[in-house]
Amino acid sequence: MAKFIIKRVLAAVFTLFVVCTLTFFLMNMIPGGPFLSEKTSARTLEIVNEKYGLDKPLFEQYLNYMGRLLKGDLGVSFKKQGFTVNQIIAKSFPVSAGLGGIAILWSLALGLPLGVLAAMRRNHVSDRIVMFVCTLGISVPSFVIGGTLMYFIVEQLGLVSGIGLNSPSSYILPVLTLSFSPMSYIARLVRSTMLDVIGQDYIKTARAKGLSNFKVIFKHTMRNTLIPVITYLGPMTAGVLTGGFVVERIFSIPGLGRYFIDAISNRDYPMIMGTTIFFAAILIVANLIVDILYCVVDPRIKFE
């Protein structure tokens, strides 16, 4: 297992290097610059570019950035004066992580039982209702769901606040918006996998031995059913923990996603690089944890 983890860590470092390199050069290939939209004189623009090292050749800028990155320095934001990218991430990520953590738990708490219910009641009314809701959750973009909830629950009914995270009730709409699509996908995964597992010989043998339906489902069926769900948890966790970029924008949540969108709009190079690298690191770590969980859920899976 230690050998496997070392291999994955080395692969993760190489992947991050590729992500950093591609992001840096692709970002700088786009015409324009971070200060061209501002009404400044040519001399002022020259001074600003010199201050941030943008006057140097592109490859030299890349080497300087990678040198700072090795020291853990993600640079200084071009647009949010007085703040480093490290400070912005340290301040905004806990907000996104708290919101995302609740959304993940809610997705699992609803998705798993709904998938089991749909599989156990295949082709019944309850199955059709669950599948309709899940198809809706996967098909409809999060900004449509968030906007709809804002209109009906906040504007029309006035039940909860739709701006910020100022009270426990203000978490309801962002969590529902963030968790709706993952919950739907998990439910569909559980249903399809469970229908396949139920037909296996060892399940028929367990039923023939007189085991209760509860034991057959939760002791024998669920173990194999969870494997594709765990596979999905890796990228889902990374995406939700960093905050639904659009969701945070809709509900005015000061999370990492909001800064990422602003950085792209403002051509804030260090912020774009920092958030991209941070997101990639979370995704890689989440996938590594998922690979380790495989062995816990199914002892037949061995590390090589």
One pLDDT digit (tens) per residue for the chain, 304 residues = 677 778 878 888 888 899 889 988 888 887 766 766 656 667 777 777 777 777 788 888 899 888 988 888 888 888 777 788 888 888 888 888 888 888 889 999 998 889 888 888 888 898 899 889 888 888 888 878 888 888 787 777 767 766 777 777 778 888 888 888 889 989 988 888 888 877 677 777 777 777 666 677 766 677 777 778 877 887 787 777 765 777 887 888 888 877 887 888 788 888 888 888 888 888 888 877 877 776 666 655 555 5
Please tell me the predicted confidence (pLDDT) of residue 243. 57
Give the integer Cα–Cα distance in Å for 273 and 78: 12
Helices (runs of H) and strands (runs of E) counted in the chain: 13, 0
Give the integer Cα–Cα distance in Å for 253 and 243: 9
Residues 6+ apart with CB under 8 A from 60: none
Give the integer Cα–Cα distance in Å for 221 and 219: 6
Give the integer Cα–Cα distance in Å for 296 and 304: 15
Please tell me the predicted confidence (pLDDT) of residue 172. 85
Helix axes 172-198, 222-241, angle to 10 degrees: 150
Please tell me the predicted confidence (pLDDT) of residue 275. 87
Give the integer Cα–Cα distance in Å for 298 and 222: 11
CA atoms within 13 Å, Cβ hemisphere of 296: 7
Please compute Rg for the chain using Cα positions.
24
Q: Are 111 and 184 in contact (CB under 8 A)?
A: yes
Q: Are 247 and 177 in contact (CB under 8 A)?
A: yes
What tokens were used for 16?
A: 């991050």
Whether the full predicted model's pTM is greater than 0.75, yes or no, is yes
CATH of domain 86-297: 1.10.3720.10
Q: What are the backbone angles phi and psi of residue 252, rounded to the nearest 5°?
A: 50, 50
Q: Phi-psi bin for 73: left (phi > 0), alpha (psi -120 to 50), beta?
A: beta
- Say which residue the tokens 């800028």 belong to: 61
Measured CA distances, 236 to 108, 287, 302 (Å): 11, 10, 24
Give me the residue spans of the domains in the chain: 2-70, 86-297
What tokens were used for 193?
A: 């996998």
**Measured at the alpha carbon of residue 139, what is the angle toward residues 133 and 144, in degrees to the nearest 5?**
95
What tokens were used for 304?
A: 């090589």
